[in-house]
Amino acid sequence: MWQSVSRLLSEYLGETYTITEKEELSGGDIHHARRVSNGKKEVFIKYDTRDILPIFNAEFDQLTALAKSGTVRVPEVYGVGYDRDFSFLLLEYLPLKPLDAHHAYCLGQQLARLHQWSDQPQFGLDFDSDLATTPQPNRWQRYWNVFFAEQRIGWQLQLADEKGLHYGDIDTIIDIVSHRLKSHHPQPSLLHGDLWPANCGVSAVGPIIFNPACYWGDRECDLAMLPLYPDLPPQIYDGYQSVWPLPASFIERQPLYQLYYLLNRANLFGGEHIHVAQQAVTQLFGDEL
């Protein structure tokens, strides 16, 4: 694999890149991660088995789209490659620290500008992405209530059903969610999609985000999940509000948007997460089921 990595970096950088250092990095819960260097330039490499290549290609495209917006900072993407046994994604190496209040405020401003960026008439993406290790369907849809009800809540409920987890009649829940969002007509915004402490931080160039689960959706979804992670400074909201204030009705939709992430946690990790997801379903839908 290392010969393929060196060749790809040499092509991207326009000069021979000979790896002289390889450091295994901790925190790679999904894929393996290493820092490599030629003595002058450090590179972050994420790698896994060859069949993971489509996931790395999708991440490459998502990071490229976020960078193209010119609003948020993401690691520069050097390339995606593979050999007989492995596939890999090559990124700019940036030592990180947790967000502090100042940089959280700045990140909030940047997120608001990301959500304002570009015009897209529909919800979805040209390809499916992944929320952690869960496939995330992104078929284009004109109506937000239909997209979120079917491709977010309905999808997670179907995955749960296949695991033997039942929260209620799937079609009924989809209909309830669709009805509750029917009068809400947000502008499609490019979302990061998985904004939690492990996917953002402070680098030497300011706040940075990575490991996206992108799609064009309601901007409120990126903000709705933040309270699930108390480690994220609340100043993100202040920065966001200073650029593009959220409507007061956001508070009503927030628990519904959070349900998507709670169901995903339950599907991935089980245990207490199942109980939390069931509580959320009961609180949201109660006697309607």
Residues carrying an active site annotation: 194
DSSP state of 137: -
Six-digit token string for 68:
């193209």
CB contact at 8 A, 76 and 67: yes
CB contact at 8 A, 60 and 77: yes
* Phi, psi dihedrals of residue 136, rounded to the nearest 5°: -125, 105
What DSSP assignment string belongs to 228-284? G-TTS-THHHHHHHHHSPPPTTHHHHHHHHHHHHHHHHHHHH-THHHHHHHHHHHHH
End-to-end CA gap in the chain: 52
DSSP state of 188: P
CB contact at 8 A, 94 and 204: yes
Angle CA 63–65–69, to nearest 5:
115
